[in-house]
């Protein structure tokens, strides 16, 4: 069942239950008021009926208020999820159309023009980058789906995180075409028992996120430290940073700041969600801190 259908059905059932309760309680009150008027000459009975109705009324209003509060929160959550999914559809459409349009243009250029080998190689290399971008997007969608189902099956092995972090960072910097300075603070020979595909995804999404928001000619720091049975990796950038109110929200599925129709930065709202889930599957934790004077520091720690 689709999440919206489930939530709508849940809200409908809640309203029906509340309506039935209000109707029955109102009938009961009318009955007791009628009885009270019939027994008004008996002072002791009148007092007893008054306090009984007063008590039941108090319970009724507490339950009614609680029900409406839960319904209000449920509707707000439904609206929030709906907006996030709308943004996701808008972003995924843009993310798919852009590389597809580029690939089409490159192929048309190769077909219609008699280019020299050097120019052909340049266009083919650009086509490969667009194909890689499409592949990465599809992989993230599939990975998020697997995580939502039963979690990604892990195949732990001894990983050389020192080599992995440096390689992923350099490869992504080269493929991005950005002029960002990368500083490495990587402790040599740091080994960790984890799933290689999962850690590749963690590093690719964290480094990709930093490159996406880092201004041109700014500095990105890649850090890896292992001490006292704790392994910590961090990626810092000098971008706009993350506000305190969004520090937890950015790890939610589909969450992105602002509205997709007016946003300048590309993305789908899946990357950091995937990172958080994969880090937690390795019994770790992920958090974001402010980078002074500008930017963010994403820190993933494992024991």
Q: Average of pLDDT values for 135-152? A: 79
- Residue 247: which domain range? 156-302
pTM, rounded to two decimals: 0.66
Q: Examine the domain organization and report whether 65 and 198 are in the same domain.
A: no
3-state secondary structure 206-232: HHHHHHHHCCCCCEEEEEEEEECCEEE
Q: Is 134 contained in some domain?
A: no
Quickly tell me which residue has 């928001």 as its tokens. Answer: 213
Q: Of the residues 82, 105, 138, which one is the last residue of a structural domain?
A: 82
Q: Pick the residue with more confidence: 16 or 148?
A: 148
**163 and 78 part of one domain:** no
For residue 299, the model assigns a pLDDT of 96
111 belongs to a structural domain: no
Is residue 161 domain-shared with residue 297, that is, in the same domain?
yes
Is 175 inside any structural domain? yes
Query: 143 pLDDT exceeds 70?
Result: yes
The least confident of 31-35, 138-142, 177-181 is 31-35
Q: Are residues 192 and 297 in the same domain?
A: yes
Residue 92 lies in a domain: no
Number of domains in the chain: 2
**Mean pLDDT of the 128-132 span:** 82
- Average pLDDT for residues 27-41, to the nearest whole number? 63
Q: How far apart are CA 89 and CA 78, in angstroms?
A: 16
Domain end (from 48, 82, 116) = 82
Among 300, 175, 170, 164, residue whose Cα is nearest residue 235: 300
Instruction: Specify if 136 maps to a domain.
Output: no
Residues 30 and 167 in one domain: no
My answer on whether 179 and 282 are in the same domain is: yes
What pLDDT does residue 190 have? 94
pLDDT per residue as tens digits for the range 145-177: 888 777 778 899 999 999 999 999 998 898 888
Outline where DSSP puts E strands in the chain: 156-160, 181-186, 191-195, 219-227, 230-236, 285-290, 296-302
Question: Of 49, 82, 115, which marks where a domain is finished?
Answer: 82
Q: In angstroms, rounded to a whole number, what is the distance separating the alpha carbons of residues 215 and 221?
A: 14
Is residue 113 situated within a structural domain?
no
Mean pLDDT of 236-240: 92
Share of the chain above pLDDT 90, in %: 30
Per residue in 244-300, pLDDT tens? 888 888 888 877 765 444 445 666 778 898 899 999 999 999 999 999 888 999 999
């Amino acid at each position: 069942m689709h999440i919206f259908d489930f939530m709508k059905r849940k809200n409908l059932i809640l309203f029906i239950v509340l309506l039935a309760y209000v109707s029955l309680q109102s009938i009961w009150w009318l009955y007791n008021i009628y009885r009270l008027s019939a027994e008004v000459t008996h002072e002791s009975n009148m007092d007893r009926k008054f306090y009984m109705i007063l008590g039941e009324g108090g319970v009724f209003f507490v339950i009614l208020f609680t029900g409406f509060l839960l319904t209000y929160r449920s509707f707000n959550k439904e609206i929030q999820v709906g907006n996030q999914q709308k943004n996701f559809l808008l972003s995924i459409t843009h993310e798919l159309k852009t590389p597809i349009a580029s690939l089409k243009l490159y192929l048309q250029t190769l077909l219609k023009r008699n280019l020299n080998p050097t120019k052909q190689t340049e266009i083919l290399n650009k086509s490969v980058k667009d194909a890689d971008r499409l592949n990465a997007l599809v992989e993230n969608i599939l990975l998020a789906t697997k995580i939502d189902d039963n979690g990604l099956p892990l195949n732990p092995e001894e990983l050389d995180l020192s080599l992995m972090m440096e390689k992923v960072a350099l490869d992504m910097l080269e493929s991005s075409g950005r002029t960002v300075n990368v500083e490495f603070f990587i402790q040599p020979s740091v080994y960790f028992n984890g799933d290689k595909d999962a850690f590749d995804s963690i590093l690719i999404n964290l480094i990709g996120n930093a490159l996406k928001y880092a201004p041109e000619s700014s500095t990105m720091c890649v850090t890896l430290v292992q001490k006292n049975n704790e392994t910590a990796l961090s990626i810092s950038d000098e971008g706009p940073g993350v506000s305190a109110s969004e520090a937890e929200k950015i790890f939610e599925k589909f969450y992105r700041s602002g509205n997709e129709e007016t946003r300048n930065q590309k993305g789908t709202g899946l990357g950091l969600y995937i990172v958080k889930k994969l880090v937690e599957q390795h019994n770790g934790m992920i958090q974001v801190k402010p980078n002074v004077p500008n930017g963010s520091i994403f820190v993933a720690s494992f024991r």
